[in-house]
Structure 1
């Protein structure tokens, strides 16, 4: 259940990859930190991590193929595909790719991953429209600061509560807007023998914004209300294991390090994780609103 032996993972694209429009790097001050190499790992049952130290990409094995969740940045795709192969799987067996949000750091690699695997990308109705255009929404709190990304062609839109089935595995879409209007989290059950765990891949709940954006502005009441609904949704979910789009948002970076060291019991199993995640970011939003009310930026 631990990590595979840490082999070198090359994140920078090769010369030929650099000529691929779907793999062209998106410049970001955070890219080097987000894409720090991480060995692929089995987290529990048929659930694996195939992403990076600062960016979660999950893989779920089913009887009828593989499900991938999120795609990181375009320049990270070769490393994701290499991690899939290192686990003994074939990229061509990826049937579905689930998207948490239409931001370049999580959606930038979707087009290349879908092309290389032949998979269909699944997202919320709002996010699907943006993924087709390769851009984030004008109603996004970070609008004006977000890079464009390769548009996704093969898409399927789903609504809150809709169930996606592949083989004997069912993943449920759970709308968690706020960070973006189209943010979607994904819930499923994974088993090891007779022991099963409810797993949530949570979208970002962080109320971050572009400079000058005020959550307390009357025009943004719907965004604040969306955050409140999402906090309540995540807090109420049955959740034994929480994975988040950025692992450090929920302590996933520390959990994966302990798992690599052979820690027992499994450090990812924490029935309080979803509640703690929601509480953490509701407190951040409350602090932001209080600061704005006091005249701060």
Structure 2
């Protein structure tokens, strides 16, 4: 079987009702702009920037406007009030919920964790901010869903920022959970040169399992395929997973690192170029592998919380939006990144 080769079942298609564009921009823009390099008004209004933003808006249509806030780095909206991560953390944690038969959402309004259920235990994707949050939202969420947190055998960390690895220690110490991360980001953590860190966030986990592009992480009957998508960090990975819904199987891409919050790093231009290249490649993979579900590790990038709220009373699965929608999402991100490159090099 060739890499990622597998045929998906018939898709259910539904669109989530989106808030206004201004509301969506305010959902989590702070993570995009807090560490971004400043852009002059002349650069923001340049033809190249505006051309790429127009392509992003065209790809977004009416259902993906929440991704357009990535363009705020290139052309900030005057007067837009951006919530801080602390403000998002302070909002009440929504209840955990099954997004698919074998996938449980355990996130909050700031950062997400996803539990992938297998025949031999649980894989959790991302460990959130710190031990207390992991205990409250991941362990507590699993218990609320009738699942045993001692069955968390693996934690896959999408990238080496503390809001995604900070709570891993709770599971490694209490349950002996193994931690999976890209070799590139393990090296970053080993070096001590942490990019997104504050004293109240959890410390990096001890080096454990390394993966790279094309790696497969197996547990029981489940295979997680690793797609390298660098940029957000140099070693960001995006898991590709098969999700069960009744008798159907859907393929999902969980994008590992979305925003351009590396704007003050000395290597910002090469990293942004790798993001541009990575979104283009992922868009091709999405078509080849018929990826009809696009997920994120921040709920404001996949509307996980409002979608799950609407799904509580039944109805279609709002995460299954189809292969074209996945490719359009990646196009929005790609064009916003190209707009940012144009602004940073103007």
Contact 2:186 2:207 in 1 (8 A): no
Q: Following the alignment from structure 2 to structure 1, what is the Cα–Cα distance between the partners of residues 330 and 90?
A: 25
Q: Report the counterpart of residue 142 of structure 2 in structure 1.
A: 84
Q: Report the counterpart of residue 245 of structure 1 in structure 2.
A: 297
Listed as ranges, the matches of 1:1-297 within 5 Å are: 29-34=84-89, 36=91, 37-74=93-130, 75-79=132-136, 80-132=138-190, 136=194, 143=195, 146-147=197-198, 149-153=202-206, 155-210=208-263, 212=264, 220-236=268-284, 237=286, 238-260=290-312, 262=313, 264-271=315-322, 272-294=324-346
Normalised by the length of structure 2, the TM-score is 0.67
Contact 1:47 1:58 in 2 (8 A): yes
Contact 1:183 1:203 in 2 (8 A): yes
Structure 2: where are the runs of 5+ without partners? 1-82
**Cα displacement (A) at 1:282:** 1.8
Contact 1:122 1:128 in 2 (8 A): no
Q: Following the alignment from structure 1 to structure 2, what is the Cα–Cα distance between the partners of residues 223 and 270?
A: 29
Contact 1:239 1:273 in 2 (8 A): no
Q: Following the alignment from structure 2 to structure 1, what is the Cα–Cα distance between the partners of residues 275 and 317?
A: 30
Contact 2:272 2:341 in 1 (8 A): no
Total equivalences in the alignment? 254
**Cα displacement (A) at 1:258:** 1.9
Range moving further from structure 2, 166-175 or 112-121 = 112-121
Range moving further from structure 2, 99-108 or 149-158 = 149-158
Q: Following the alignment from structure 1 to structure 2, what is the Cα–Cα distance between the partners of residues 213 and 82?
A: 37
Q: Report the counterpart of residue 18 of structure 1 in structure 2.
A: none
Normalised by the length of structure 1, the TM-score is 0.78
Structure 1: where are the runs of 5+ without partners? 1-27, 137-142
Q: Following the alignment from structure 1 to structure 2, what is the Cα–Cα distance between the partners of residues 258 and 203?
A: 25
Flag the structure with more relative contact order, 1 or 2, with Cα contacts below 8 A and sequence separation at least 6. Answer: 2
More helix by share: 2
- 1:94-129 CA distance string (max 9 Å, x none): 100000111111111112222222110001111123
Contact 1:232 1:278 in 2 (8 A): yes
**Cα displacement (A) at 1:131:** 4.1
Q: Following the alignment from structure 1 to structure 2, what is the Cα–Cα distance between the partners of residues 240 and 51?
A: 21
Cα separation, partners in 2 of 1:133 and 1:109, compared to 1, 3 Å:
farther
Cα separation, partners in 2 of 1:130 and 1:220, compared to 1, 3 Å:
closer
Q: Following the alignment from structure 1 to structure 2, what is the Cα–Cα distance between the partners of residues 292 and 226?
A: 15
Cα separation, partners in 2 of 1:107 and 1:249, compared to 1, 3 Å:
same
User: Structure 1: which 4+ aligned runs deviate by more than 6 Å?
Assistant: none
Cα separation, partners in 2 of 1:273 and 1:73, compared to 1, 3 Å:
farther
- 1:259-291 CA distance string (max 9 Å, x none): 23x352111111234323322222222222222
Secondary structure at the aligned position of 2:294 is classed as strand
